[in-house]
Structure 1
């Protein structure tokens, strides 16, 4: 693997800060990620942010097929050349914005009949948005092995009660098993980021232990609860986009068996599901009265 410094210099390119580009400079790291992700020769990989191909090439050697998504058109010729050089002929490069990528449409058009493995070294500024999209499209995904800045990775794996526990902690815990695969030092990237990174695996559950009757509403409730996380749940919900009266919020919390004076970071996933059910029933009752 040619160093990113040499490659970019040869192609007269520079990393784009606005795209959060930090390229892996140690070839052992991409190989490690592919190995720990357990990618097999029967699996189809979707890579988010192919960049210079550091992760694409070892993934191509392990998988049946790789679809490499890259939004920076300035890197495409370089990437295609690297794939030719390493004979990675089972890779399809897609010049797309991952935040506008329609996973359902992609799976249908490509005729893919098996769950995908998602990999990627994700830029910090859109990492959370990408995770939300993967949760929404998880019916087409078996698991994901992705690299994030460490502080964000820790939030994704956080348990109730700590300051790292938040909206995405709950959303992921609801539908997936999340674990750390490796830590990667900042000096193994070019340019060097300000913080170390961590690779985590998100393995989506086939069945959910405590499913919400309305998943979209559950996630709205979680977002509302954490929107003003220093406030009590009663006040956070009442002051949220859900437009719930304080009295109604208090009644729903009582119905769910949750003390209204608690804060969002203390609730388990099961309690959030119970709260969404109670709020959903209250909403239905109000709609029925209005009708």
Structure 2
């Protein structure tokens, strides 16, 4: 693999800061990540932001097919050249943003209806949380996700209830599946080097969900409301939030959920939020 610096320079390109482009420059690191991901020749992998192909080439050597979703039009010719040079022919490149790509249509356009895919990517720091939300909302179509993220974000995702870093993104990703840190990647292994180190995580998504809220949208809205004003008590943060409760209703659903109304959002585990959202949903059903 040619170094990202040389590839970009010879093509008259520069890394785009607005797209969060930091290209992995060490082939052995890419190979290690893919090996630890456990990809087989039965898997179709959706890679977010393939860039210059460092991960893409290694994934393609193990997987049945790679669907590479790349927003940067200018970099795609370079990516295609690198794939051809590595004799890779099982990669389909789609020029769009993952935030615009219609994941619900996967079964119509790619392989069989019952297949569960793998999502991978070195995620741009500026939209990492949005991409994680896309995974959570579409998790039934994926059996796992392997992401390279800023180390600080991984610390937030893996934080337990009651800790300083525990927040809305922690709840959403832990609701999605089991999280495991696969590797720590130093910042000097990227070009251009980012300001912080990265971590690689694997999110394993069970076929049968561990948590089954009565209404998933209500669950997402309840979590969003609870953390909307995290310095306030749950009673106050739920009242007037995205779930449309007044103070009396907020206190009622919290008590029925077995949760003290004066607790704060960061003290609740995922299962607590599921119970709470179920009571919010039951109340909304009664009011219809």
SS state of the match for residue 98, structure 1? coil
Q: Which residue of 2 aligns with 1:77?
A: 77
- 2:68 maps to which residue? 68
Q: Which residue of 1 aligns with 2:223?
A: 222
Q: Determine the structure 2 residue equivalent to 1:96.
A: 96
C-alpha offsets along residues 65-112 of structure 1, whole Å, 9 cap, x if unaligned?
Answer: 111111000001000000000001111111111101111213312233
Instruction: Provide the residue aligned with 2:106 in structure 1.
Output: 106
Question: Runs of 5+ in structure 1 lacking a partner?
Answer: none
- SS of residue matched to 1:182: strand
- Greater shift after overlay, 236-245 or 13-22? 236-245
How much does 1:242 deviate? 2.2
Q: Please show how residues 127-142 of structure 1 align to structure 2 within 5 Å.
A: 127-142=128-143
Q: Which residue of 2 aligns with 1:52?
A: 52
CA–CA distance in structure 2, aligned partners of residues 210 and 86 of structure 1: 43
Report the counterpart of residue 269 of structure 2 in structure 1: 268
CA contact (8 A) 2:218 2:243 kept: no
Could you tell me how far 1:131 is from its partner in structure 2? 0.8
- Which position in structure 1 is the counterpart of 2:26? 26
In the TM superposition, what is the alpha-carbon distance from 1:198 to its structure 2 partner? 0.5
| Alpha-carbon separation, structure 2, partners of 1:143 and 1:191 | 29
- What secondary structure does 1:63 align onto? coil
Q: Distance in 2 between matches of 1:208 and 1:47?
A: 24
Instruction: Write the deviation string for residues 162-188 of structure 1: whole angstroms up to 9, x where unpaired.
Output: 121111211222230011000101111
Return 5+ residue gaps in structure 2 as ranges: none
| TM-score, length-scaled by structure 2 | 0.97
CA distance in 2, matches of 1:239, 1:171: 21
1:166 equivalent in structure 2: 167
- The structural deviation recorded for 1:210 is 3.6
**How far apart, in 2, do the equivalents of 1:137 and 1:112 lie?**
16
Looking at structure 2, the residues matched to 209 and 75 of structure 1 have their Cα atoms a distance apart, in angstroms, of: 40
Residue matched to 1:17: 17
| Matched position secondary structure for 2:61 | helix
Query: Which residue number in structure 1 is paired with residue 233 of structure 2?
Result: 232
**How many Å separate the matches in 2 of 1:101 and 1:217?**
24
Whole-angstrom distance in 2 between the partners of 1:244 and 1:213: 18
Q: Indicate conservation of the 8 Å contact 2:144/2:204, yes or no.
A: yes
Secondary structure of 2:54's match? coil
State the secondary structure of the residue aligned to 1:142. strand
Q: Which residue of 2 aligns with 1:182?
A: 183
1-side partners of 2:190 and 2:272: how far apart? 41
Q: What is the CA–CA distance in structure 1 between the aligned matches of 2:41 and 2:103, rounded to whole Å?
A: 22
Aligned to 1:198: 199
Residue 258 of structure 1 corresponds to 259
Tell me how large the CA RMSD over aligned residues is. 1.1
SS in 2 for 1:117: strand
The normalised TM-score by structure 1 is: 0.96
The alignment of Structure 1 onto Structure 2 pairs a total of residues equal to: 287
In structure 1, the residue matched to 2:36 is 36
Residue 224 of structure 2 contacts residue 242 of structure 2 at CA under 8 Å; is this kept in 1? no
Query: Does 1:117 pair with 2:110?
Result: no
